[in-house]
Amino acid sequence: MDNQKTDELIREKINQLQIFPGNDKPDRQRSWERMQLRLSKPSSLRLNWWKYAAALLILMMGGYALFQLKQMNIPSSAKVEYPEKIEEGPEGMKSPEVTRNEGPSPLSPIKKIHGKKVFRFKVKEKGSIVTRTIKANDNNRGGELSPGNKNDSAIENNDHLYANKNENIKAVTPASKSIAIVYYNEIEQFKSSPTAPPETNKRLQIRLNTIENPSTNLLATQHSFINTLKINLSPENQQ
């Protein structure tokens, strides 16, 4: 209670003090001139700085959005062309018998389409020649992109391999080699080729990367099969 009364008394006395008691009070006219200077300054810069900041921010956001949009827009021509599906013949198609190949693949990428390494070869199917494109698997573990050997000549020279319908193809697998063989019944030797071997037993030699479960993963009708396997179609291997 005492403090309240004392406080009120002090408040009254201080509020009654109209004139500054010190000696260092400022000159009123000089102070007013300073005040006038402040008031005459254009306030547009003070008030409108945020407008410039907002415009700059919007520009930056627009640029960023445009950049993101360009990043997301993938051109349709860049899409990878997958090889055609191998259709089953009239007599059916046997499942591939595969064995693991320890050595490097004899195939090498022969062309780049939109920055992707691909293998291309031609195969006759149902009376027409079809160009097959196989995407190179960059994640393979066998280093199969090394330069090819003699057996690669058929691919490197763009030789064509034709097959007669309903021809039985028998595979001969050397015991010493670890290769994959696929039996097709629609493949025959290119008839017009003068260097073609007799149309007897022909085989497709397929060299594989390290595949954990080939019997389940390497069906000829699956894309993964084509993407993973490297097919050696050289004439020497068709003996």
Binding window for another protein (CB under 8 A); candidates: 38-46, 66-74, 156-164, 189-197: 38-46
Residue (43 or 215) nearer to another protein, CB? 43
> Does residue 5 belong to the site contacting another protein (CB under 8 A)?
yes
> Does residue 2 belong to the site contacting another protein (CB under 8 A)?
yes
Residue (14 or 72) nearer to another protein, CB? 14
Q: Kindly compute the dihedral angle of the four CA atoms of residues 102, 103, 106, 110, in this order, to the nearest 10 degrees.
A: 90
Q: How far is the CB of 8 from another protein (least distance, A)?
A: 9
* Count of residues touching another protein (by CB under 8 A): 30
* Alpha helices per DSSP H over 111-173: 153-156
> Does residue 20 belong to the site contacting another protein (CB under 8 A)?
yes
Binding window for another protein (CB under 8 A); candidates: 10-18, 48-56, 58-66, 224-232: 10-18
Of residues 158, 163, 152, 149, the one with CA closest to residue 202: 163
> Does residue 26 belong to the site contacting another protein (CB under 8 A)?
yes
Structure tokens at 176: 């010493």
Task: Provide the CA 160 distance to its chain's centre, in angstroms.
Answer: 31
Cα Dmax for the chain = 127
Q: How far is the CB of 28 from another protein (least distance, A)?
A: 6
Sign of CA dihedral 156, 160, 165, 169: negative
Binding window for another protein (CB under 8 A); candidates: 32-40, 112-120, 126-134, 210-218: 32-40
Q: Kindly compute the dihedral angle of the four CA atoms of residues 206, 212, 215, 221, in this order, to the nearest 10 degrees.
A: -60
